[in-house]
Amino acid sequence: MQGRIHSIETFGSVDGPGIRFVIFLKGCAMRCLFCHNPDTWDPKTDNLKTPDELIDQALRYKDYWGEEGGITVSGGEPLLQIDFLIELFQKAKRHGINTCIDTAGQPFTRKEPFFSQFQELMKVTDLLLMDIKHIDSKIHRELTSVPNDNIIDMFRYLDEIHKPIWIRHVLLPGYTDDDKYLYETRAFIKTLHNVKKIDVLPFHKMGEFKWEKLGYPYRLKETKTPTKARIQNAVDILNGKNDENLI
Ligand code: SF4
């Protein structure tokens, strides 16, 4: 079995705990307006690697991982290559490596065959980094091209099985930077018991040049990056500092 690889970061420090070997996979079915890696969308690539090749490569960096580090698989959307992920993480676990998936959850369903594969994958996954791209399903579709119902269900399933998650929320003026939606997102987060960390990721335009290079129209040209005050506001609301305002 081979994975379709976009790129590898050998010293990742933001994609999970500690220092991590981050494998970015090719392919994503979402079309987030703020995506800074549109070059990962197309699943086609000549860069194919087996789980053994990746584990061998990752192990060269093991000394730098310390107590907490390990391997993160990101994308693109890693769950689109779930068979490959299962094999990769099963091998990682045989080496005692901490495993983490950075996913937007779009492929999740409780239907077969995916659900059994996902359950298998969760046996060898230590942590998931999950995005709530928008709490309102209709706006989620405008923002990402897909509704969020199955993604919300994935959060619920991970809570049911007590799988630790970090939540990441892109703060995008005009879409997610509205107190109404921030409070709704907070109310949802409060129903979960497995959330270990909540990160607010301020919108930036660092990926804009990639959209232009690929010939895709970039619709957020006029959108401003959020102010420090709005970022702090989102951090406070999502982390429960203003829970007295929840309806
Ligand atoms: S899910 Fe991630 S990779 Fe896919 S379009 Fe959205 S931001 Fe980009």
Asked if residue 37 has its Cβ within 6 Å of ligand 1, the reply is yes
Asked if residue 104 has its Cβ within 6 Å of ligand 1, the reply is yes
Q: pLDDT at position 132, please?
A: 96
Neighbours of 221 (CB within 10 A): 10
SS3 of residue 102 by DSSP = strand
Q: pLDDT at position 18, please?
A: 96
Mean pLDDT to the nearest integer, 137-153: 97
Averaged pLDDT score across all residues of the chain: 97
Q: Are 133 and 77 in contact (CB under 8 A)?
A: no
Q: Are 119 and 144 in contact (CB under 8 A)?
A: no
Can you give the CATH number for the domain in which 103 is found? 3.20.20.70
Q: Which of 37, 42, 73, 204 to mutate to test the pocket of ligand 1 (most atoms within 8 A of CB)?
A: 37
Q: pLDDT at position 39, please?
A: 96
Q: Which of 30, 36, 41 to mutate to test the pocket of ligand 1 (most atoms within 8 A of CB)?
A: 30
Please tell me the pTM assigned to this model: 0.96
CA-to-CA distance for 234 and 169, rounded, in angstroms? 9
162-176 confidence digits (pLDDT tens): 999 999 999 999 999
Task: Give residue 6 CA to ligand 1 midpoint distance, Å.
Answer: 13
Local confidence band at 236 (pLDDT 50, 70, 90 cut-offs)? very high
Asked if residue 105 has its Cβ within 6 Å of ligand 1, the reply is no
pLDDT at 247 > cutoff 90? no
Mean pLDDT to the nearest integer, 226-231: 97
Asked if residue 77 has its Cβ within 6 Å of ligand 1, the reply is yes
Mean pLDDT to the nearest integer, 42-53: 97
Q: pLDDT at position 185, please?
A: 97
pLDDT at 152 > cutoff 80? yes
27-47 confidence digits (pLDDT tens): 999 999 999 999 999 999 999
Mean pLDDT to the nearest integer, 129-135: 97
SS3 of residue 228 by DSSP = helix
Please tell me the residue having the least CA distance from ligand 1 atom 8: 35
Strand order through the sheet with 20-25: 48-49, 3-12, 20-25, 70-74, 98-103, 127-131, 165-171, 195-202
Local confidence band at 180 (pLDDT 50, 70, 90 cut-offs)? very high
Domain of 213? 3-245
Q: pLDDT at position 151, please?
A: 98
Paired residues of 3 in beta bridges: 49
Task: Give residue 220 CA to ligand 1 midpoint distance, Å.
Answer: 15
Number of domains in the chain: 1
Local confidence band at 246 (pLDDT 50, 70, 90 cut-offs)? confident
